[in-house]
Amino acid sequence: MTQVSNSPAAGLHPQGFARPSMFWRLWWRAVSVKRSQAVLALGALAVGAAITSMLLNLYGGVRRKMTEDFRAYGANVVVAPAPTKAAGATGESAVMDEANLNPLDHFVRDTPGTSFAPILYGVVRVSTVGGGARAQSSANVVAAGADFAELRRLNQGWRESGKASDLPPGECIVGVHLAQQLHLKPGDSIEVARLRTAGEAEAPETLTFFSSFRVSSVLTSGASEDNQVFVPLPALQSILNLPGKVTLAELGIPGETRDVERAVRRVGGLLPGLEVRPIRQIVYSEGRVLGTIRWLLLSLTLLILVIIALCVMATMTAIVLERRKDISVMKALGAADRLLMRLFMTESASLGLLGGVVGSAAGVLLARSVGLRLFAVKLSLNAWTLPAVCGLTVALAVIAAQVPVRIVRAIRPAVVLKGE
């Protein structure tokens, strides 16, 4: 009775190895024959790919979430006039021309996610407008003139009560502590006036350059802004008699510490004569947190990949030992060691590719679930993770098969086929 063999070497002719198609026929025969070891290797690679895909997608999503959360702390870079001995001697705060900041417009357009807000600060007299006891309410406070829409983007942790406003002409926003001090609420009116400077001849109580504003909202920041009043930049420049001047510019630059420092050097080159400095408490705190998360995820990924590699190595060793007779027959028919090793390496790479595709899909689903439950982040698919994970699992499978396939060289057809 004729017995039909399921081995890859079945039906080979001594001259068959010379044909280019024979290699792929042998490969297909090897991967199509049902073997529990191959299923185990495929499962291990799929698990490794799923965990790697989950961690990579989690890192990308959590990194974006952490960057957004750190933006709530405000700007991480400040542009200010270079300190001078004259300004320090007189005690006056330095100002700079707003036109000097024009090169930042191109930088902001070229750097997605960057926010930029020029600000003018000055001490003014704020008085309430109305009858009764409120008519005498007044205080010297710090006024900030800016584009409040940009300030809001820079300080996403700020909260407003009342109608949110981007400060059109005639409106202002007051800090919560100042509002309590002057008994202000949204809809009230105030007058903002410049105090007399030392070089002016008016009496000390004389106020000059005043304007009236309607309070659109009350700001809560948890910082010094709670004691300030915010007005449109042109209005404060007019009140302080500083046309075209600003005190500083705040920038929010996304990225890690090295990205921010690289941007600081670039901005410094665009703005010669001005001081560009990072707010290091924010920059380095963000960098430490993101660095810790990256180190943790990469360490876990490396540990898991090492375990998977050992599992694949043991499985491929079992496969090679199981096929000792097939290998002996192919060697007896003229197959070279290099051809047989390439055959097993291709089979390993095929398992790695299939495991990578299946594991990547499972990893995306796991990442979305973990992101929502642990970090409250709704993750989207990072397209680059699919080729990255597939390439990683293929490389892992090929590397893990290096040691087992070397057993092929040690197989002696005469010894194996004689049954010794």
148-168 pLDDT, tens digit each: 988 888 887 788 887 777 888
List CB contacts of 228: < 8 A, sequence separation 6 or more: 141, 142, 143, 144, 174, 175, 178
pLDDT at residue 397 in the model: 87
d(CA 29, CA 19): 16
pLDDT tens per residue across span 267-294 = 989 998 898 888 766 655 666 666 777 7
pLDDT of res. 4: 41
Percent of the chain exceeding pLDDT 90 equals 15
Quick: pLDDT tens for 205-220.
445 567 899 999 999 9
| pLDDT for the residue 11 | 44
Question: What are 350-382's pLDDT values in tens digits?
Answer: 888 989 999 988 888 888 888 777 766 677 667
- Which residues are CB-neighbours of 122 under 8 A, at least 6 positions away? 142, 143, 145, 194, 236, 239, 240, 242, 247
Top-confidence residue, 132 or 323: 323
For residue 48, pLDDT beyond 80: yes
Greater confidence (12 vs 322) lies with 322
pLDDT score recorded for residue 245: 92
pLDDT (average), residues 118-133: 81
Evaluate if residue 311 carries a pLDDT over 70: yes
**What's the Rg (C-alpha) of the chain?**
35
Gap between the Cα atoms of 309 and 400, Å rounded: 5
